[in-house]
Amino acid sequence: MEKKSFFENKKLLFILAGVIVLAAVLRVIGLNKPEGLWYDEAVSFFGARNSFPFGIIGYSLTADLQPPLYILILHIWMAIFGTADIALRALSALFGVLIVPVMYLAGKELSNKKTGLIAALLTALNALLIYYSQEVRIYSLVVLLASLSVLFLIKVNNDPTLSKKILPLS
C-alpha cells in the first residue's frame, strides 16, 4: 500500500511539474515582441530607473499612480538581469508561472490533489493570465499576491488555530 502511495505521489509531482513547465513555455513564447516596449510598459521601466527606494516610491505615487512594490522589484531585477525588453518582461512571466503552484496548493487545500491539479492546469492555460504575464506591468504580481491571499484564507478557514499562531494578538 505504501509503495502505491509513493508512486502516486511521484506521478502527481511529475504531472504538476509538467503543468508548471507548460505554463512557463506559454508565457515565455510571447516575451520577445518586435515592436519593443509599449507605452505603459515604458512607464514601468522609467519608474524602475529612479533611485531606490524613495525615487521609485515618489514616481509610483505621482506619475504611475500604482502601488510601488512591482516597480521596486523591477528595479532590483534590472540590476541583475539588465534592461533588454525580454529581460524586463521575464519578471512578469516569472510571477505568472508562480501563480500555477499557488493555485494547485489552494485547490488541494480546498478539496483534494485532483482539484489542485485541475486548478493549476486551468491557471496555466488561462489566456488572460498568459497575456498579462508578458507585460512589464503590475498585473501578474497582483494575481500572484491575490492567489496567495486566497490560499492563506483557505488554510485559516480549514484550521482556525492557524490565525492565532500567525497573529498572536489576543
Residue at 8 is within a domain: yes
Residue at 12 is within a domain: yes
Cα 96 to chain center, whole Å? 4
pLDDT band at 1 (very low <50, low <70, confident <90, very high): very low
Distances (CA, A) of 17 to 14, 23, 97, 104, 152: 5, 10, 11, 11, 22
What is the rounded average pLDDT for all residues in the chain? 91
Residue at 105 is within a domain: yes
Interval 79-92: pLDDT, tens: 999 999 999 999 99
Residue at 17 is within a domain: yes
Interval 101-112: pLDDT, tens: 999 999 999 999
Interval 50-70: pLDDT, tens: 999 999 999 988 888 888 999
Give the cell for residue 14.
511529475
Cis bond leading into 160, ω under 30°? no
Domain count, the chain: 1
For residue 66, give every residue at least 6 positions away whose Cβ sits within 8 Å of its Cβ, in sequence order, or none. 60, 138
Residue at 165 is within a domain: no
Q: How far apart are CA 105 and CA 101, in angstroms?
A: 6
Which one, of 71, 70, 91, lies nearest residue 135 by Cα? 91
**Residue 93, domain extent:** 2-159
**pLDDT value of position 146:** 98
Residue at 169 is within a domain: no
Residue at 102 is within a domain: yes
pTM: 0.89
**pLDDT value of position 61:** 87
